[in-house]
Chain A
Amino acid sequence: MALAFVASLLQFLAEEAPHLVDEVRKLVTTWADRKGIPHEVLLAALGPVDDRVKAVDTAVNQHIAELWGDQTQPDGSRK
């Protein structure tokens, strides 16, 4: 449960405040060690690097949409 929360928090930070991710991940790693959570379990909960890359890509796509506006038509095509 706590791990799921931590994973969600890191996902949120990756999108909204990437400069905080490093420190929070250090905290999470220390916390997991203290709690006796095996590293492989922690890694599995945090997801592969692909997930974090996708989170960044999604944020950038949103940035593009904000600058140029969403041009998606109701049928899914673009103007």
Chain B
Amino acid sequence: MRERLVQLLIRWLFVVVPTAIIGYVTLTYINFSYTAQSSSIFNQALFFSSGLLIAYSLYFFRIRWVVTFILLWLAYWMVGKIIVKLPGEFDVFYATAKFQLYSALFFLGWIFGFLLVRVKYSYIILFGILAVATLVVVSSTIDISFSYILLHLVPVITYGLYMLFVSPMLVYDVEMDLKKSGRLLIRFSVFVLLVFLAFLLVGKIFTEDLKAVEKELVARGAKDEDGKEREKKDGGYDQRYGLMDKPDKDDGYKLKDTMKISSKMSQSDQLMFCSHINNFFPDGTPQPLYFVYHYLTKYDQAKESFIRDANVPYLDEFNADPSEVSIFHSKQDSSVIPNSLGRKLRKVVESEVYLSSNTWKHALLAPASAFYVQSIPVEKDFQKQFLSAYKVKSYASELNNAYFVYNPSANPMLESFQEERYNELRTVRDYHSVDTAFYNYYTKVPSGVIYDSITNLAKKITTGIVNPNDKVIAIRDFFLDRDKNGKRIFRYTLKPGSPSDPNIPNTSMLSDFLFKTHAGYCTYYAGASLFLLRSIGIPARFTTGFATINRSDKNKGWYWFYASQAHAWTQVYFPGYGWMDFDMTIGNEDQQGAPKPDGTPPLPPPQPWLVLNAMTNAAPDLTKKRLDITFDNMIYFDEKYQLKNPLSRVIDVSMCRVLYDKKDTTLSILSAGDSVIIVSYKDESKAIPRPKRGVAIESQVDDFPSPIVADEIHIKPKPKAEKQDNAKNDQQKTEEKSMTWKEILMLAAKIAGGVIGFIFILPILFLLYLVVKTAFAKNDTDKADRIYQSALYQFHMAGVERINETPLDYARTKVDPALHTAFQEFMTVYLRLKYGKGTLRDGDSEIIRRFASNFGPAIRKSKGFFKVGFNYFNILLASRYFLQSENNEYEN
């Protein structure tokens, strides 16, 4: 009995404790990822471990499991009953839920204990369960990286290796001989070290590849499906969103980066965003502006589509991704202002844009010549409707507005405005002063029959007109012309149909539209007018974005943008005034649909008094709800300050919302070194120090309350290495994606190949190890010993396997007859050294030496060099050597 107790103690030490530790580690991971009822990890681990320990001890003494399981179940049932019946001093539901959790953990520990005692190789099952749990936890984390996975898997893998290789031997040897277990422990540490080194090596070799994979995983997720879908859509031109597409499954819709003149288009009524444009006429009439998305300055003649160009002279497009601008922070590109090439009648217009959740959030949608963007919060009640918002400043021309084609004469005030605009623009008479490169770029017309006929048409329309502005108006009037019956020649339709005769080469949608069908949607009008203008020497460009419609005067300055408002139009350049919107698209006379409603504009968001751009010093204290941070720049009452020295402050996070990538999350994902933005709003309940003039900001910071009560914490997403490159078109992206998947496969194959290759060279490495070991023998006895080990291995690998024979029998009956070695002679000496009183006799050294130098050649001579060499790649043969002593186990 006492002996049995000692055995149990040893097993506690070497089997139960490591399992309890790994259970604790795994529970910690799980708790960080999923918030349990009570996150007292220690208590959870305690219940798990006690279950494990009790079960292990009970089953170690061979107590029947049926009985114990029934008893356990009874106990569980009883305790559950009692807890429910307890007087209502504490919340019964909470108690039972907690009880459920703990009892589940206890039971889990119990099963683990049972498995460990009773089931052979059960630790493989346990290892599997733990590894899967860890992987699930790890993969549910937002920020996934190779090193992160590795770090989390290391404890589980170490546990698996330990249980597999070390713990049975430890238990066995401690029972037999304490001294040897120490040596074994050292070997194990060396082994673990080697495993780590191997991991590091793999990491080092494949760093670049792995990073690519990581990026792929982070950026794309499971999107190949979506890619296929998208291709189908693009091919068929059948999608609901017409000019829009969806770059990402999880993302919203955006305007296409390519505009193709195609046979059909459909539209949807989905709300894309709403905006407040702070642009009014002096009398308070709202002056809406079109929202520009991109300028498509390049033309693909074969496909009849407009695409973006990377090299544009004087590009006045502000290329910003508002989703990457941190909250309350801003980004600006002042080069837009000079590049807009016009200073006359310009002003800065501010607008706020609230993006609905189905809008692509990475592109800046703003009135033309935007140069500044600031990320702003959305008021709480509107957060469901609008995911994010930003404020933009545009260097807008006073002559631009959205009334140019729509409502041309509805309002006398607007009509007079248009006249005013024409009068202004009529001052421009020619383009002599314009930069030649710029002029040539924007008046380029492709050669070909179609474009010649367009040029002729343009000349015909503008005969006798000198002034560029009047030429533009003449072209507009061309689209508004009526035939003899007073009916419009040009029509607006979403389904212009296919070219009249697809068999005739050079049929083009564009020429069909201009000369035959006279029916099309905005892309047709914009494309046609673009070439009409360019062919007569007027610089023009194709613009995509959203048409702004002023539907009601209820909320002045607020505009609502639906997917059907996605639009294309032309901008015409006037020296001194810059680019002017000219929307040639004629109104849709057939459309009878009721005007879409405007919604309720979102309330202005609360104003922050303090925004800190900070780094966390440590993980948050979840019990005290405190967070320790260091910051060196901040926004204090809308003023940005850069501090000379970083300061540390404690933040009260008890009332705080935590957002990651604009989505709600919990404090527990924060760890030390994260960059965060801490926002505190102006609020009556807080004592807010007012900024003092003339006082150094550092001393003002000292007056801040401590702790600072935070209302929101925005965790900055880790910068993605791959910036969304908008210039690339969809097709290229799909290609690129399939490439990367191929690369991932290649990488996986490489790693697998490496591992397999490594396994295949293991037998040779072991041989080398033995040979080297033999070479460094200290004395003859030592040498004999090492030769013995080496010879056994080499004979085995030569195909002469020792199966349960004693080495001497093996030498006599197998090795010497098969390989013509003098193994028996050597064995006689060796056995005397090994089991005898251990002194060398005369001639022994000679025998050892002779055998050492002869047995290698003898093997090669008997078996053939290549056959023996080939055997070293026979993993099965080699593994039999290493498993020899284990395969006779009979213990249960």
A and B from one assembly? no
